[in-house]
Structure 1
Amino acid sequence: MFKPLATVQYPKFKLAIVALLFVNVFLYALTDTLTSTIDALVWLALLIIYELEATKFWTALTAERLRHIRNVLIVAITLVFFSYVNTSEWLDTLNALFWFVLIGLLELEIRAPDWVKTHQNNFWLATILVFACLIAMVFAWLWQGAWLDAYDGVLWIAAFAFIEVDFFQFLKLKKQ
Structure 2
Amino acid sequence: MSNAEFFLSYPKFKLAILALLTLNIGIYAALDTLTTAVDALVWVILLVMFELETVKASPFNETTLHAIRNGLIVVIALVFGSYVRDNEWLDVSNSLLWFALIVLLELEVRWPSLLARHRRLFWLMTVAVFVGLIGMVVAWLTQSDWLDAYDALLWIAAFGVIEVDIFHFLQLTRD
Cα displacement string for residues 84-103 of structure 1 (whole angstroms, at most 9, x for unaligned residues): 00000000000000000000
Q: Which residue of 2 aligns with 1:31?
A: 31
Aligned pairs, how many?
167
Q: Which residue of 2 aligns with 1:19?
A: 19
Q: Which residue of 2 aligns with 1:112?
A: 111
Relative distance call for 1:136 and 1:100 in structure 2 (3 A) is same
Following TM superposition, the consecutive aligned residue runs of length 4 or more in structure 1 with deviations greater than 3 angstroms are none
Distance 1:11 1:63 in 2: 25
Which region of structure 1 is more displaced relative to structure 2, 120-129 or 166-175? 166-175
Shift of 1:82: 0.5
Letter in 2 for 1:130: V
Say what the alpha-carbon RMSD is for the aligned residues: 1.1
TM-score (norm 1): 0.93
Describe how 1:113-132 pairs up with structure 2 within 5 A.
Answer: 113-132=112-131
Q: Which residue of 1 aligns with 2:47?
A: 47
Quick check: 2:17–2:154 contact (8 Å CA) kept in 1? yes
Shift of 1:174: 2.3
Q: Which residue of 1 aligns with 2:92?
A: 93
Identity %: 57
Unpaired segments of 5 or more residues in structure 2? Answer: 1-8
Quick check: 2:83–2:91 contact (8 Å CA) kept in 1? yes
Letter in 2 for 1:46: L
TM-score (norm 2): 0.93
Q: Which residue of 2 aligns with 1:147?
A: 146
Unpaired segments of 5 or more residues in structure 1? Answer: 1-8
Relative distance call for 1:166 and 1:90 in structure 2 (3 A) is same
Shift of 1:11: 1.1
